[in-house]
Amino acid sequence: MEFLIEYGVFLAKAITIVVAIIVVIGALANLGNKNKKSTEGHIEITNMSEDLEEVKDGMLEELLSEDDYKALQKEKKKEEKAKEKEEKQRLKELKKQQKQNKGSNDIEKADDVSNDDSSAEEKDSVDSGDEQNKEQDKEQDKGRLFVLNFDGDVEASAVENLREEITAVISAADNCDSVLIRLESPGGMVHAYGLAASQLTRIKAAGLKLVIAVDQVAASGGYMMACVADEIIAAPFAVVGSIGVVAELPNFHRLLKHNKVDYEQHTAGEYKRTLTMFSENSDTARTKFKQELEETHELFKQFIRDNRPALDIDKVATGEHWYGIQALELGLIDDIKTSDDFIVDAAKSSDVYEIIYEVKKPLAQRLSFSLQSAIERAFLSVWQKSLESRLFK
C-alpha cells in the first residue's frame, strides 16, 4: 500500500513537470508566432482514381493465381499502349485538320471580291469543321471530378476551408469538370449556413456541375446548402429535411427576483431586443420574436424554391425530417446512392481528385491538443478498466 502511495505521488509530480514544460514551450511558440498569420494553409490534392486502382490491383494480386495476375497485368499494359497510340493519332489528325482549316482561310482571304458568295460558303464549311473538331475534343475529354468535404457544426466553421477549396477548384477547372461535395451537417446558425450555401453557388456560376452527397445527415442549414446542387444523392437512411427555424433561450427573471437581484437593460429602438434571458418578457416581445422566426422561415423556403422549383415546398417545410428513401419520394433528393458508389462509378470514366485545404496550426495549439487527447485517453482507459472490473469481477 505504501508503495502505491509513493508511486502515485511520483506520477503526480511527473505529470506536473510535463504540463509545466508544455506550457513554457507553448508560451515561447506564441511569442514566436505573434506576428505571423495563424491561418496559413495549403491545398492538398489526392488522386482518388489512382488510389482506387491500387486497391483493385492489390485485391486481384491476392485473389488470382500468379500466372493469371501476370497475364492480367500484361493485358492491362497492352490496353494502356493502345490508348496512348489512339490519343497520339487523334492529336495528329487534329493538327492536320487545323492546318487544312488555316489553308482554307488563307485562300479565302486571297479570293476576289466577286467571289464573295463562294467565299461565304467556304467560310461556313471551315466554321463547321471547327465546330466538329470542338465537339470531338469535348467527347474525347472525359473531364475530372473534384471531391470536397464539408463537416458542419452549429457555426458552420468548415466554411473557412470550403471557400479556399472552391477557389482552388474554380481556378483550375474546365466546363467539362464537375464537383462532388460530401456534406454532413445537422444545421446551425442562419447567417453561417447562408454563407456556406453562397459559396456553393460560386461553383455553379463557374459553369461546373455540382453534386451533393449526403451519407448521414443534411438537415435544416445542411439542406439549405444541399438544395443548391444540380443533383442531390443520399444514402437510404440518411436524414434529410428539417426545413424550419428554431430559437430557444432560458429566462432567469423569476430566479433573480426571488433572490432580490435587479437587472436593467437599456435600448434605443422599439425592437432592439425582444425576448431576453434576464428581463421579464412581454407578450408583445414574444409576438415580435415569433414574427422574426416566420420571416426567416419564409426566406428559407424561398431559397429552396429558387433552387428546386419542382419541389412542393409547402408540403416539406414543416420542420420534419425524412430518411433518404422517403426524401426521394418527396423530391427532396434525386437519387439513392452513397458518395462511395458515386466516386467509384465516376472513376471509371473520369479522373477523381480530392481537394483539402489544410491549415497549419501553431505549435502551442498542436501541443495543447496533444495534451488534451492524452488526458482524454487516460481517463477513458481508467473508466473502461473500472467498467470491466464491475462487469467481470
State pLDDT tens for residues 51-69.
988 898 888 888 888 888 8
User: CA 393, CA 391: separation in Å to the nearest integer?
Assistant: 6
pLDDT at 157: 93
Whether residue 184 contacts residue 239, with contact meaning beta carbons closer than 8 Å, is answered with: no
Query: What is the mean pLDDT of the segment spanning 144-165?
Result: 95
pLDDT at 139: 44
User: CA 187, CA 152: separation in Å to the nearest integer?
Assistant: 7
Name the residue ranges covered by the structural domains of the chain: 54-140, 144-242+320-359, 247-317
Q: What's the burial of 297, exposed, middle or buried (CB within 10 Å: 0-12/13-18/19+)?
A: middle
User: CA 278, CA 256: separation in Å to the nearest integer?
Assistant: 8
pLDDT at 392: 45
Whether residue 71 contacts residue 366, with contact meaning beta carbons closer than 8 Å, is answered with: no
Taking alpha carbons only, the member of 171, 121, 123, 116 closest to residue 146 is: 171
User: CA 81, CA 211: separation in Å to the nearest integer?
Assistant: 33
Residue 257 pLDDT level (bands cut at 50, 70, 90): confident
Residue 165 has pLDDT above 60, yes or no: yes
pLDDT at 253: 87
Residue 202 pLDDT level (bands cut at 50, 70, 90): very high
pLDDT at 11: 67
Using a pLDDT cut of 90, give the percent of the chain over it. 45
The CATH number fitting domain 144-242+320-359, selected from 3.90.226.10, 3.40.190.10, 3.40.50.2300, 3.40.47.10: 3.90.226.10
pLDDT at 263: 86
Query: What is the mean pLDDT of the segment spanning 74-89?
Result: 81
pLDDT tens digits along 269-325: 888 888 888 888 889 889 998 999 999 999 999 999 999 999 999 999 999 999 999
Query: What is the mean pLDDT of the segment spanning 164-171?
Result: 96
pTM over 0.95: no
pLDDT at 319: 92
Which has more confidence, 40 or 327? Answer: 327
Catalytically annotated residues: 220, 272
Which has more confidence, 318 or 70? Answer: 318
